[in-house]
Amino acid sequence: MLASTPLYAPLKAVLVPLDQVPDPVFAQQTMGPGIALEPLESQLFAPCDGEIVHLARTHHALTLKTDQGCDLLIHLGLDTVDLEGEGITVHVAPGDRVHRGDLLWEFDADLLACRALSLITPLVVTSNDRWRCELMDAPVGRVIERGAELMMLVATSQASPTGKEGGGNNEYREQVTLALAAGLHARPAARLRAIARAHGCTLVLERGEHQADAASLTALMGLSLRHGDTLDVIARGADAAAALGEAAALLTTPEAVEDDPAHDESADDRADTVPTGDDTTCHGLMASPGLAVGPLIRFGRSRIEINADREEDAEATERALVQAINTLNDTLATDIEQARHQGRREEADILEAHQAWLDDPALREESLAYIRAGRSAAFAWREVLESRINELRRSQSQLLAARADDLRDLQERLVALLVPEAAALGHIEIAPGAIVMFEEITPSQLLALDRVSPAGLCLAGGGTTSHVALLARARGLPCLAAMGAELVEVMDRQDGSDVILDADRGSLIFKPAPDQLIEARESVEQNRIRAAAEQQMAHESARTIDDVPIEVCANVAGQEEARAAFDAGADGIGLMRSEFLFMAHAQAPDQQTQRRSYQQALDAMGAHRVIIRTLDVGADKQLDYLSLPSVPNPALGTRGVRLMARHQALLDVQLRALLEVRPLDRLRIMVPMVCDAAELVAVRERIEALAGEMNLDGRPELGAMIEVPAAAVCADQIARVADFLSIGTNDLTQYTLAMDREDPDLAGRADVLHPAVLRLIDLTVKGAASHRCPVGVCGAAAGDPQGWAALVALGVDELSVEPARVAAVKAGIRRLDRAALARALRGWLDEPIDSVTLRQRLEQWLNETTANNNDRGAPDDAI
């Protein structure tokens, strides 16, 4: 039988429905369901037996855990936090055991009424994923006497009758400063939920007077947490300490952000300052770069009328909703698995965030409440998500506002399962090569566009940080967003004629002159011809004008990307990020799973060699199932080779899997975050021991990543014990300059072309050369428009880039006189020079020499 407990009025008061409370956090039930009371006396008593588990520093709010394990927030007045406890006398402390009728507070009602927003006092069930409220027959809007029955708390099937999640009632709390540059958005929120589930614990985030349970993404997003905010993380349950450590590490670790100028939240902040168009042009934000010409087609999606009232009884309607949710959840799970398998990790991450939204108990419970009130399942789901969509769009955070598209996606996909007519409206029929206008587009709609091959996208809404923008960039699809009323006006009068979408310049020319169309089509055709010519030579080796061979390899995450790299002409895999295999699993992949993944990558590359980096998590990448210590500077903490020393068993499984790959002479193992030769020697000794146990004759080559200044300074020593070195320019740049790439104020200055970084790369190359140890580069600089040339001039032997960049980088190398650029670069580095000036000189030098060497490859702007 499900646990339940009655709550009794804690004071004489007027009953106020929670949705009428003049505070949206309570009125929209962001923190949970409940009731509110407008006090008619100045003492407040315990509404039930339980334990005080939290008391706000300013004494205006407390959390009472009932004996059955339900968390009840009692919030004395609204905006009373600003009073700093003035006029409030508290009679309890955290840890106190209280009984129904014990005095909790005394307060100066006149002072609070005059200086706070309101005396209205909400009672809210914050553990609403495990409990529901059933109001008694007390008359809302009427006076209720102290001690009268107020509501019943009833456990759902998930509730623990003892209140001890996971077999324990431990509670741990830690204050953290949010390090996520984009704030707490959907994907890290989904990971918090996964951490809580993995440990069988309750995780709660608390900021000021507001709390959110990690079980509810809507509640977490409702906190609107931004970078730099200070908050408390609370974990309850038998494994609460481990859960707290992982949650704190997630929140205090900066996220990895792609080196992509379009991925910039500040760009969204400039949406209101985008220049207005003339009679022929409208403007927007570059969500994905590129140039396109084609007919302008409007995609209009009508919202089907849905019967508001249910036609069946509540139980049957509830079953229909739950079945639709389960069906969509299964579809998402299949799509996620397929995306992971094919190496489309951005798509998989987005779909996982959708799955977490879908599993939000708050959305489900609110929808069921609508059904119980007589509404249809489709109407209930649409209404509940519509309120959340509007809430997100009102957010001051542009990234949170961009997540409204994800909720719209879930709203429409589930309605389509419940109402067949809605599914028909969602079918996209567009001619290939069109530039498609959307007032709004969901991620699943963009994925559906793949089969019709549009030339570009124009969006009235959205932004550069939306999941749609991310997917467009991954597909190389030119896209403008946040075009606003201008685009809507164009939609109203468009006739399907050809337009020019120049995403790089943020413009849509919808009435181009004939000469503009001719010029744009020529540019598009030149780009196509150039790309085709580069691709024709992509499988040929790349040599500079002075006959220096440079390998151009690819960075990949798995088998599908390896196949794409081979097709693109890559000379090998310069970096296979094994951490993505680990991140795709709920627990560490076993030896056979790893071996299969590594073998598939080698098989995909034919006779070319493959470098696989051992597990590199910590700092910007976390695993839900691997507990890492929470430290103030995680980028300087346990990661890379240090992680391997701490988790030797995990490393052994990976090394055994790698040693089972055939042939071993095409495999190279690369160790991340090495600081000195001793660390690499320790790994080599472990490989020798394991290979001996496995009776192996051969050994794979072993190399070290040069990512920290210490490794660059000691490169000559590391090269003595390494078969190769690979420079990770992203980390090397930020560690050398002490500039966090995730800091929006510093990211633009964290340039690999800073003289200090180039000097360390030069030191690395010279140190390795003394031992005939080859040096590659697998960081973003390898594909940088000017950086790649500087790296070649400094003497690196290999560049590893994204598969789509292989052909263009090879074309640039064939045009480069390495010795000539090396002489020029040495002269520049002898001067007092900054990265901006150095980049300008490199660009000018490359442009001037390109004019004389076009016959050897594609124009340099291909890079």
Which segments within 221-377 are labelled E, that is strand?
230-236, 281-283, 285-288, 291-298
- Supply the residues annotated as catalytic: 467, 778
Strand order in the sheet with 88-90: 43-45, 103-107, 88-90
Residue 105 CA to chain centroid, in angstroms? 43
Q: List C-alpha distances in Å: 177 to 70, 171, 282, 617.
A: 28, 20, 41, 21
Sign (positive or negative) of CA dihedral 495, 496, 498, 501: positive
- CB-based burial of residue 175 (10 Å sphere; 0-12 exposed, 13-18 middle, 19+ buried)? exposed
For residues 569, 573, 574, 579, the Cα torsion angle rounded to the nearest 10 degrees is 140
727 closest CA partner among 699, 689, 765: 765
Q: What are the residues whose beta carbons fall under 8 Å from the beta carbon of 663, sequence distance 6 or more?
A: 698
Q: Which residues touch 437 (CB under 8 Å, ≥6 apart)? A: 296, 297, 298, 299, 457, 458, 459, 460, 487, 490, 491, 494
Angle, helices 377-393/361-372, rounded to nearest 10 degrees: 130
* Spatial separation of the C-alpha atoms in residues 342 and 562, rounded to whole Å: 10
**Separation of alpha carbons 647 and 761, rounded Å:** 31
Beta bridge partners of 532: none
Residue 2 region, left (φ>0) first, then alpha (ψ -120 to 50), else beta?
beta
CB 392 within 8 A of CB 221: yes
Q: In whole angstroms, what is the distance from residue 54 CA to residue 62 CA? A: 5
Q: For 517-586, give the DSSP string.
A: HHHHHHHHHHHHHHHHHHHHTTTS-EE-TT--EEEEEEEESSHHHHHHHHHHT-SEEEEEETHHHHHTSS
Q: How far apart are CA 563 and CA 601, in angstroms?
A: 8
* CA 48 – CA 497 distance, rounded (Å): 70
Beta-carbon count within 10 A of 343 CB: 19
Token readout for 192 is 């918090």
Q: For residues 577-600, b (16+ Cβ closer than 10 Å) or e, as one string?
A: bbbbbbbbeeebbeeeebbebbbb
Confirm if 177 and 229 have CB atoms less than 8 A apart: yes
What secondary structure letter does DSSP report for 66? E
- CB 763 within 8 Å of CB 773: no
DSSP per residue over 629-663, as a string?
Answer: ---S-GGGSS-THHHHHH-HHHHHHHHHHHHTSS-
| CB neighbour class for 373 (10 Å; exposed up to 12, middle 13-18, buried from 19) | exposed
CB under 8 Å to 721, separation ≥6 — which residues?
A: 677, 680, 681, 684
